[in-house]
């Protein structure tokens, strides 16, 4: 059997299951039952590690998205934060993406879905995160959740007019907020393509343009295939739920994140150290005086060994709280490095106006 025939048979089966489910599960208004049926369809077809829910997404600064019809989250690493039986919230770091479900996709409903997608993508900061790979540490951008719109039919318009509406919306919004797919059942898919005509559904930038591909009866299968590719292409970091506990704090006009830090007092003793407003003011004053530095600058200035404690690459800019200038003293650094190799536990990190600030525990009084 040719691959095209196999794809066609699979698409027919998916579409048949979907239509049967929609007919049998009719209870309530058309929007609700179609959304429920679509959720059941994805739940039975998606790999088990991908959970399907709905509700709101909670960001790293305790801000929340708009209500999302379907949320695809990491079922193995995270669970929804249940507020009520009918309302759930998901940490932004645990979701793969969202799908907005529409019965009819008019221009108004398209814009509504696009704004919902933007509200979710905006929750995830543009930052580098680290992952240990054996003895080395790799850095990569924190992945943005994907956002798709799935509609059962057009709303008295055409696919060409939807593409034009999307282009107008994208001209006034950054590429990081653009949708990954806009799908109309039995019509086709609007997605982004490179100037050479290559489909790009994950890494979207300003060089791409949206175009409509007329899949007709194969639309459902093509959407399903692209959705699996999107989920499998995303490498979510380990969920750190404690990061969602505290809201940012304003001190001397600066936004502070992470004022409660875990400090190693001895090889077997840890304590939670709260940075008071007085301490935060001292940190702000000191790092402003010291200025931005990089690991390469310290290595060149003080000939510090390559095993400098901070697990960051050589050219990443950061701030260092160092009131007694200990960490700009070569002899002190060499002594400390030789005495204690567990550098991961010797520093804590907070953010001042989204800039990382490293705080050596020896500089704290507790």
Instruction: Check whether 136 has a pLDDT greater than 80.
Output: no
Highest mean pLDDT among 32-36, 161-165, 244-248: 161-165
Beta bridge partners of 53: 71
Q: pLDDT tens-digit profile of 70-90?
A: 999 998 887 777 655 566 888
- Per the model's pLDDT, the better-predicted residue between 290 and 4 turns out to be 290
Mean pLDDT (whole number) for 163-189: 95
Query: Token digits for 323?
Result: 């009131």
Beta bridge partners of 56: 89
Query: Token digits for 133?
Result: 């790979």
What element of type H or E holds 253? none
Residue ranges of E strands in 118-233: 128-133, 136-141, 146-154, 181-184, 188-193, 199-200, 209-213
Query: Token digits for 286?
Result: 């000191």
* Residue 32, helix vs strand vs coil: helix
Mean pLDDT computed over every residue of the chain? 79
> Any idea where the domains of the chain sit in the sequence?
3-239, 246-363
What element of type H or E holds 281? helix 277-290
pLDDT on residue 343:
46
Instruction: Check whether 297 has a pLDDT greater than 70.
Output: yes
Per-residue pLDDT band at 347 (split at 50, 70, 90): confident
Per-residue pLDDT band at 291 (split at 50, 70, 90): confident
Q: C-alpha angle 31/230/204, rounded to 5°?
A: 100
pLDDT on residue 24:
58
Q: Are 273 and 366 in contact (CB under 8 A)?
A: yes
Helices (H) and strands (E) in the chain, counts: 8, 19
Q: Residues near 88 by Cβ (< 8 Å), separated by ≥ 6?
A: 53, 54, 55, 56, 80, 81, 82
pLDDT on residue 305:
46
pLDDT on residue 162:
95
Give percent of the chain above pLDDT 70: 69
pLDDT on residue 18:
64
Residue 218, judged by CB atoms within 10 A of its CB (0-12, 13-18, 19+), counts as buried
pLDDT on residue 344:
45
C-alpha closest to that of 283 among 356, 234, 344: 356
Q: pLDDT tens-digit profile of 87-130?
A: 688 888 899 999 999 988 999 999 999 999 999 999 888 877 77
Per-residue pLDDT band at 335 (split at 50, 70, 90): low
C-alpha closest to that of 95 among 115, 114, 68: 68
Per-residue pLDDT band at 173 (split at 50, 70, 90): very high
Q: DSSP secondary-structure letter at 238?
A: P
Query: Token digits for 271?
Result: 């304590």
Q: Are 360 and 325 in contact (CB under 8 A)?
A: no
């Amino acid at each position: 059997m040719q691959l095209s025939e196999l794809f066609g048979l699979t698409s027919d089966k998916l579409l048949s299951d979907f239509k049967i489910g929609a007919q049998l599960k009719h209870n309530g208004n058309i929007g609700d039952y179609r959304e429920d049926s679509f959720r059941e369809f994805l739940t039975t077809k998606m790999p088990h590690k991908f959970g399907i829910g709905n509700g709101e997404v909670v960001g790293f600064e305790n801000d929340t998205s708009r209500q999302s019809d379907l949320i695809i989250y990491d079922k193995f690493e995270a669970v929804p934060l249940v507020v009520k039986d009918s309302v759930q919230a998901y940490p932004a770091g645990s979701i793969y993406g969202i799908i907005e479900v529409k019965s009819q996709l008019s221009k108004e409903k398209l814009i509504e879905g696009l704004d919902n997608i933007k509200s979710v993508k905006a929750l995830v900061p543009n930052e580098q995160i680290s992952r240990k790979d054996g003895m080395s540490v790799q850095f990569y951008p924190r992945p943005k959740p994907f956002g798709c719109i799935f509609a059962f039919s057009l709303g008295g318009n055409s696919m060409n007019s939807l593409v034009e509406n999307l282009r107008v919306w994208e001209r006034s919004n950054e590429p990081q907020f653009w949708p990954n797919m806009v799908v109309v059942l039995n019509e086709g898919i609007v997605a982004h393509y490179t100037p050479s005509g290559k489909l790009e559904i994950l890494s979207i930038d300003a060089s791409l343009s949206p175009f409509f591909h007329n899949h007709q009866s194969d639309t459902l299968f093509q959407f399903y295939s692209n959705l699996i590719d999107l989920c499998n292409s995303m490498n979510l970091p380990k969920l750190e739920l404690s990061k969602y506990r505290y809201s940012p704090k304003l001190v001397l006009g600066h936004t502070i994140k992470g004022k409660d830090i875990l400090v190693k007092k001895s090889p077997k003793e840890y304590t939670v150290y709260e940075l008071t407003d007085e301490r935060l003011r001292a940190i702000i004053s000191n790092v402003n005086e010291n200025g931005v530095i990089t690991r390469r600058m310290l290595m060149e200035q003080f000939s510090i060994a390559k095993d400098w404690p901070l697990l960051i690459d050589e050219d990443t800019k950061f701030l260092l709280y160092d009131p007694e200038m200990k960490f700009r003293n070569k002899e002190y650094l060499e002594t400390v490095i030789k005495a204690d190799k567990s550098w991961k536990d010797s520093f804590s990190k907070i953010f001042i106006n989204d800039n990382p600030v490293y705080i050596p525990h020896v500089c704290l009084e507790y």
